[in-house]
C-alpha cells in the first residue's frame, strides 16, 4: 500500500485531506511523491517557520538525541536552562518567565490555567473567528461552532464574542472574569471596537486585564 492507502486504512482521521503526499522539504519548499515542488505557504502550519531541513536545526536535533533524548521537568537540565534564559532575554519587557510545551493547544491550555490561577476567576473571552486548538479548553475558546459542537459540554464561561460578553456583564464575561485575550488568526480582521484596527496580523496569544 502507498502512503495514501496506509493513512486511509489506519489513521483515526481528524482532518479533511488534500490529495497530495508530501515527502520532503527544503527551506520554504516541499516536494510530493512524484517530485513536484510547492511553496509551503503555511510553514508546516507555523511549525517550520525557519524552513524545512534547516541544516543547523537538523544538526542540533541529532546532536541532542545523541546526548540526552528527554529530561522531565522534575530535574534541572543544562540545555533547557539555556533555552529558557534565551527566550526570556528576547521576550517583551515584563515577561520574566517561559513555559515550555509541545503544541499550540497546550500553550493555550496553559494560558487558561495560568489566568485562572493568577486571577482566581474563570471567564475567558476570545476573539471572534479565532482558532485556538482542538483540546477541550482551547476548543472552548475557538470560534467555529462546527469544531466545538460535536464535543460539548466544553469549558463553561468562554464566550467567543467580547461584545456579547461585555453586554451581558458590563465588561466582564461572568461578572468577574480575568480577561484572557486569545488573539490568533482572527487578528487579520479589523476589530469591531477599533482597538485592534490596523495592527499587524501576528499570530499570538496575549493576556490582559
Cell of 173: 464575561
Determine, following the binding rule CB under 6 A, whether residue 185 of this chain makes contact with ligand PLP: yes
CB closer to ligand PLP out of 13 and 34:
13
Determine, following the binding rule CB under 6 A, whether residue 131 of this chain makes contact with ligand PLP: yes
Tell me the closest approach of the beta carbon of residue 136 to ligand PLP, in angstroms. 12
Handedness of CA 148, 203, 85, 47 (dihedral sign): positive
Tell me the closest approach of the beta carbon of residue 10 to ligand PLP, in angstroms. 21
DSSP states of 147-194: HHGGG-S--SS--S-HHHHHHHHTS-TTSSPPP--B-SGGGGS--TTS
- Return the beta strands (E) in the chain as ranges: 22-26, 29-32, 37-39
Tell me the closest approach of the beta carbon of residue 120 to ligand PLP, in angstroms. 25
The answer to whether 125 touches 193, Cβ cutoff 8 Å, is: no
CB closer to ligand PLP out of 2 and 102:
102
Dist CA 87 CA 36 (whole Å): 37
# residues contacting ligand PLP (CB under 6 A): 11
Dist CA 20 CA 44 (whole Å): 14
Determine, following the binding rule CB under 6 A, whether residue 175 of this chain makes contact with ligand PLP: no
Residue from the set 25, 133, 137, 159 that interacts with ligand PLP by CB under 6 A: 133
Tell me the closest approach of the beta carbon of residue 144 to ligand PLP, in angstroms. 12
Contacts of 196 (CB under 8 A, 6+ apart): 183, 187, 190
Determine, following the binding rule CB under 6 A, whether residue 40 of this chain makes contact with ligand PLP: no
**HSE of 3, CA atoms in CB hemisphere, 13 A:** 9
Determine, following the binding rule CB under 6 A, whether residue 103 of this chain makes contact with ligand PLP: yes
Among the listed ranges 86-94, 101-109, 115-123, 145-153, the one in contact with ligand PLP (CB under 6 A) is 101-109
CB closer to ligand PLP out of 25 and 104:
104
The residues that touch ligand PLP, with contacts defined as CB under 6 A, are: 45, 103-105, 108, 131-133, 184-185, 203
Amino acid at each position: 500500500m502507498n502512503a495514501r492507502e496506509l493513512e486511509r486504512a489506519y489513521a483515526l482521521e481528524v482532518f479533511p485531506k488534500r490529495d497530495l503526499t508530501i515527502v520532503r522539504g527544503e527551506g520554504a519548499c516541499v516536494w510530493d511523491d512524484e517530485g513536484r515542488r510547492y511553496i509551503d505557504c503555511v510553514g508546516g502550519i507555523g511549525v517550520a517557520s525557519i524552513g524545512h531541513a534547516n541544516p543547523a536545526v537538523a544538526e542540533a536535533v541529532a546532536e541532542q538525541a545523541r546526548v540526552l533524548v528527554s529530561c522531565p521537568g522534575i530535574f534541572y537540565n543544562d540545555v533547557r536552562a539555556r533555552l529558557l534564559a534565551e527566550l526570556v532575554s528576547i521576550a517583551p519587557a515584563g515577561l520574566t518567565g517561559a513555559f515550555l510545551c509541545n503544541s499550540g493547544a497546550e500553550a493555550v491550555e496553559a494560558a487558561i490555567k495560568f489566568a485562572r490561577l493568577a486571577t482566581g476567576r474563570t471567564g475567558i473571552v476570545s476573539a471572534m473567528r479565532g482558532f485556538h486548538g482542538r483540546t477541550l479548553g482551547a476548543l472552548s475558546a475557538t470560534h467555529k461552532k462546527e469544531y466545538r459542537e460535536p464535543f460539548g459540554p466544553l469549558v463553561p464561561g468562554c464566550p467567543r464574542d467580547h461584545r456579547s460578553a461585555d453586554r451581558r456583564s458590563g465588561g466582564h464575561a461572568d461578572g468577574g472574569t480575568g480577561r484572557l485575550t486569545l488573539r490568533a488568526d482572527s487578528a487579520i480582521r479589523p476589530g469591531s471596537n477599533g482597538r485592534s484596527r490596523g495592527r499587524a496580523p501576528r499570530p499570538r496569544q496575549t493576556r490582559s486585564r
